């Protein structure tokens, strides 16, 4: 009967195990030497690998942020060079304006200065319309915001406007209907100004059919409130908004050719008016307001369509009118205006 004998070389197995362990350790060392990294896998250091991976992502993101910043610097350098040229043009235009205002220059010399000025304006507009970076116009006023991404999300970005102050709105020749407001019947005159002293433009209309003026107070956003009657009026054709008594508030002077009356409505500063009626001897065909006698008070000239004359109505310190004299002219008619 055959005998099977099993023998084990303990020393050889131990040597083989140690040799395998040394091989693995040498492999790790060579891997670290070749990569330059202490941690190459999770088994090296799980927490350290997570931190290292995050730092690697940050490094790549911020490296791209640096490239983005350099691109933005290049863009701003181009825009800055263009703006410097525009500043040079504006300085030269100011110089030309000062030179042309000198009374020693002849008309021909001023025309030469004007031609140079027109050429500079064209060059100014050419620069604003052609300065580009990556096919984006920089200073035409349409570049509303430049956002430079330097890191993560909104917190890692900066944004700024560029070139809005250099634009010129020229329109396209069309109009847009925004609002329609109900006002007095058949408005014959429309006046604008700050009648209530709030710093916002208001609208006053005078009726051509009924004896009344109404005011639409401005809201400050381009809209106006419902009209309010001012308590005076004529079937008027001629009206002006002027500070007639010099108190800083806009008053209203209106005239009615049909009745031959003039009304001076003095404003209390809050759109409250006190109206005084005057009737020039020659009637009213048109009115002209100005300081005709150089006394610092506004006066009224009224031209008559019925006779060859106009009346001089002198203003008083209290904002009233007194008839001064009548001036004969060659031909009568509705001459003058507001």
Residue 324 lies in a domain: yes
The answer, yes or no, to whether residue 4 has pLDDT greater than 80, is no
Among the residue ranges 4-13, 82-91, 209-218, the one predicted with the least confidence is 4-13
Give residue 141's domain range. Answer: 49-166
Same domain, 132 and 97: yes
Same domain, 219 and 249: yes
Long-range CB contacts for residues 246-250, cutoff 8 Å, separation at least 24: 246/296, 246/297, 249/195, 249/197, 250/193, 250/194, 250/195
Tell me which of 321 and 122 has the higher pLDDT: 122
Rg over CA atoms, the chain: 43
Give first-to-last CA distance, the chain, whole Å. Answer: 144
The answer, yes or no, to whether residue 179 has pLDDT greater than 80, is no
Any idea what the CATH number is for the domain that residue 161 is in?
Answer: 1.20.1330.10
Any idea what the CATH number is for the domain that residue 210 is in?
Answer: 2.120.10.10
Residue 37 lies in a domain: no
Same domain, 319 and 233: yes
- pLDDT at position 335 is 42
Q: How many domains does the chain contain in total?
A: 2
Same domain, 258 and 289: yes
What is the pLDDT confidence band of residue 91, given thresholds at 50, 70 and 90?
very high
Distance CA 127, CA 196 (A): 45
Same domain, 191 and 141: no
Q: Please report, for residues 99, 115, 118, 140, 187, the alpha-carbon distance to residue 112 in angstroms, rounded to integers and kept in the order given.
A: 11, 5, 10, 29, 48
Distance CA 316, CA 266 (A): 13
For residue range 225-237, list pLDDT tens digits in order: 877 887 777 666 6
> In sequence order, what are the beta bridge partners of 290?
299
């Amino acid at each position: 009967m055959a005998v099977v004998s099993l023998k084990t070389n303990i020393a050889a197995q131990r040597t083989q195990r140690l040799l395998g362990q040394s091989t693995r350790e040498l492999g790790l060392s060579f891997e670290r030497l070749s990569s330059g990294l202490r941690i190459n896998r999770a088994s090296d250091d799980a927490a350290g690998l997570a931190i290292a991976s995050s730092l690697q992502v940050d490094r790549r993101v911020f490296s791209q942020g640096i490239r983005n910043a350099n691109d933005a610097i290049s863009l701003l350098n181009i825009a800055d060079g263009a703006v410097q040229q525009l500043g040079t043009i504006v300085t030269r235009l100011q110089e030309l304006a000062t030179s042309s205002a000198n009374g020693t220059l002849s008309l021909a010399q001023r025309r030469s200065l004007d031609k140079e000025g027109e050429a500079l304006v064209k060059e100014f507009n050419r620069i604003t319309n052609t300065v580009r970076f990556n096919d984006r116009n920089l200073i035409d006023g349409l570049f509303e915001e430049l956002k430079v991404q330097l890191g993560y999300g909104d917190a890692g970005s900066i944004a700024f406007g560029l070139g809005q102050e250099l634009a010129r709105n020229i329109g396209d020749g069309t109009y847009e209907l925004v609002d329609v407001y109900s006002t007095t019947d058949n408005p014959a005159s429309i006046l604008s100004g700050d009648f209530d002293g709030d710093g916002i433009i208001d609208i006053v209309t005078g009726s051509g059919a009924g004896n009344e003026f109404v005011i639409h107070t401005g809201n400050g956003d381009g809209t106006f409130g419902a009209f309010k009657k001012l308590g005076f009026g004529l079937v008027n054709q001629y009206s002006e908004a002027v500070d007639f008594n010099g108190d800083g508030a806009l008053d209203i002077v209106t005239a009615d050719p049909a009745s031959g009356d003039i009304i001076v409505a003095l404003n209390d500063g809050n759109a409250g008016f006190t109206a005084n009626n005057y009737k020039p001897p020659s009637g009213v065909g048109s009115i002209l307001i100005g300081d005709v006698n150089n006394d610092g008070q506004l006066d009224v000239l009224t031209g008559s369509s019925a006779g060859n004359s106009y009346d001089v109505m002198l203003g008083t310190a209290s904002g009233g009118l007194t008839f001064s004299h009548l001036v004969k002219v060659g031909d009568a008619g509705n001459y003058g205006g507001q």
